[in-house]
Amino acid sequence: MQATKQAAATAWKGRKIVFVSGKGGVGKSLVAAAIAQEETRAGRKVLLAEIGDTSYYKDFWNLPHVGHDPVATKAGFDIALWNGESCLREYVLFYLRLQRLYSLFFENKVMKSLINVAPGLNEIAILGKITSGVRKVGPPMHYDLIVVDCYATGHALALLQAPKGMMEAIKFGPMGHHSREMEAVIENQSICGYVVATLLEEMPVVETLEFCEKLKTQVGVDSSVIANKILSLPVEEAQLNQLKTQDPRGLGEFAKYLDAIFDRQRELFALLEKSVSRLARVPFIFSADPEVLVKKTGEALRET
């Protein structure tokens, strides 16, 4: 997958939808928020859409509630929390127009159980909502950009493959038609961008490279990688080498430990550089303040 290096920011500049994924714990939600803030700062109307049942950003920004309907944040963009049930409910109600009919068919225990086990139905409902504005289906979406804080890599791949699977199972009717539309949007990289966050640690990097390759071969899209939380040397390299000669029970051993960490970071970053076409770096930010974290992460992405 060798290619000319480009700025990772090309993955979201001018796009209408950006999917952000990564192995759990690598900071993908922070990266998604930073992208949303950078694009808001550039004058675009942005929605940051969380996928799942629980909101990470509710506590992050100390919001009273985050649900299916967007809420404003002091960062200047809106946030929503979408899951399969809420997206399916909105989709069906938009077409049926009758709450009582929806409740009769979709809110009884038998139907709920069937929906939960139906292969790909939750993913199709979520992806249908994400792409609805572009496809002009359902309630209007008045945003220039939707940044999707997506599932971790394995589930994210299943989400993006759902339309293809549904098209194979249901070739005709509204479901088949909408699945074809969704797949066309996902594959159109002038509309959709794909960002994968990682740490410069072995398991996250290996999983990132595997995920990027699967996006390319199984979904047909390229992705950008953001190496997050990179530690930097607190001293000059010459000073570190000098410290390594000190008492092995004290500073010397600690300096050797630091040196090993920085060597491994350099090796893994070089591996990413060889393997992906768009790569950015974000330093480790020493702050517990959400606004500072998002701002500084955004600045690092801007400078890449």
Q: Is the pLDDT of residue 29 over 60?
A: yes
- 32 vs 233: which has the higher pLDDT: 32
- Cα four-point dihedral sign 160, 161, 162, 168: positive
Q: How far apart are CA 159 and CA 218, in angstroms?
A: 12
Residue 51's SS3 state is strand
- 115 vs 169: which has the higher pLDDT: 169
Q: How far apart are CA 42 and CA 44, in angstroms?
A: 6
Burial of 54-72, coded b for 16+ CB within 10 Å and e otherwise, reads ebbbbebbeeeebeeebbe
Q: Is the pLDDT of residue 98 over 80?
A: no
Tell me the fold of 8-231+275-303: Rossmann fold (3.40.50)
Q: Give the H or E element holding residue 221.
A: none
Q: Is the pLDDT of residue 2 over 60?
A: no
Q: How far apart are CA 66 and CA 49, in angstroms?
A: 10
pLDDT band at 290 (very low <50, low <70, confident <90, very high): confident
The model's pLDDT over 164-177, given as tens digits with 9 standing for 90+, comes to 888 777 777 777 88
Which amino acid would we find at residue 186?
A: I
Q: How far apart are CA 198 and CA 281, in angstroms?
A: 10
Give the least confident one: 10-19, 27-36, 46-55, 257-266. Answer: 257-266
Q: What is the mean pLDDT of the chain?
A: 85
CA distances 280 to 8, 185, 205, 283, Å, are: 5, 25, 14, 10
Give the strand pairing for 71-72 and 78-82: antiparallel
Domain boundaries, the chain: 8-231+275-303
pLDDT band at 283 (very low <50, low <70, confident <90, very high): very high
Residue 107: its pLDDT value, please?
58
The model's pLDDT over 197-250, given as tens digits with 9 standing for 90+, comes to 999 999 999 999 999 999 999 999 999 999 999 987 665 666 656 665 666 556
Residue 56: its pLDDT value, please?
93
Q: How far apart are CA 282 and CA 213, in angstroms?
A: 22
Residue 110: its pLDDT value, please?
43
